[in-house]
């Protein structure tokens, strides 16, 4: 850069600015909002007892900051029963699965604003997520048809809620009748940036694929 002292000075100044920004960034790391690394629910292959212990430990956090959490039940509930179990803690999502003996049915997630009416109406909205089935002899089409009919009949099909509350509020929910587990995320978890896997009532020993060899009820 001989003969251009002004350019040399500008390059040096720019280098100092970039270096300074790098130091500031290292001292103040930002959460990567575009990467969904948080997760609610058990892992595939996880022992149920391990997950229950892990969920219980997540409620021991200090602080009064609200956080996202999941509420899993020991049996399928109606939307009204699930709302009552949350008892004032804000509900964000309702997860449904129609229980059929030894038949795998779809898990359906409905977002709600948290009001009692929106939770009550979520069962019909879940039914609307099931596509129109074609081919009466197709097993999957039959499963979807039965699932849709039962949801339209306001079945007891809620398996999990996604809620938002303080650790103390979520811990209180964990002690209510019918609640099997409540798990909380760290307070900096971002809505829409975490996965949710329901703890199904059928999971007894280990989390994994359920049997799918049972007959589909004729209705």
- Point out the least confidently predicted range of 93-102, 118-127, 136-145, 210-219: 136-145
pLDDT higher than 50, residue 154: yes
pLDDT bracket for residue 108 (50, 70, 90): very high
Q: What is the mean pLDDT of the chain?
A: 86
**What is the pLDDT, as a whole number, of residue 131?**
84
For the whole prediction, is pTM greater than 0.85? no
What's the whole-number mean pLDDT along residues 67-77?
A: 98
Largest CA distance in the chain: 90
What's the whole-number mean pLDDT along residues 32-45?
A: 74
- 3-class secondary-structure state, position 121: helix
């Amino acid at each position: 850069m001989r003969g251009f002292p002004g350019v040399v000075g500008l390059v040096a100044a720019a280098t100092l600015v970039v270096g300074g920004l790098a130091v500031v960034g290292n001292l103040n790391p930002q959460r990567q909002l575009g990467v969904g690394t948080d997760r609610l629910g058990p892992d595939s292959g996880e022992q149920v007892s391990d997950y229950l212990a892990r969920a219980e430990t997540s409620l021991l956090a200090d602080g009064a900051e609200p956080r996202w959490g999941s509420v899993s039940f020991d049996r399928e509930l109606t939307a009204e029963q699930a709302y009552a179990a949350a008892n004032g803690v804000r509900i964000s999502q309702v997860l449904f699965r129609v229980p059929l003996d030894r038949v795998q049915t779809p898990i359906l997630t409905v977002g709600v604003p948290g009001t009692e009416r929106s939770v009550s109406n979520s069962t019909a909205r879940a039914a609307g997520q099931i596509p129109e089935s074609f081919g009466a002899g197709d097993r999957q089409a039959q499963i979807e048809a039965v699932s849709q009919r039962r949801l339209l009949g306001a079945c007891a099909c809620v398996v999990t809620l996604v809620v938002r509350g303080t650790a103390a509020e979520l811990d209180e929910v964990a002690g209510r009748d019918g609640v099997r587990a409540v798990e909380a995320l760290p307070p900096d978890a971002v809505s829409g940036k975490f996965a949710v896997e329901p703890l199904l009532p059928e999971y007894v020993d280990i989390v994994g694929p359920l049997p799918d060899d049972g007959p589909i009820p004729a209705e």
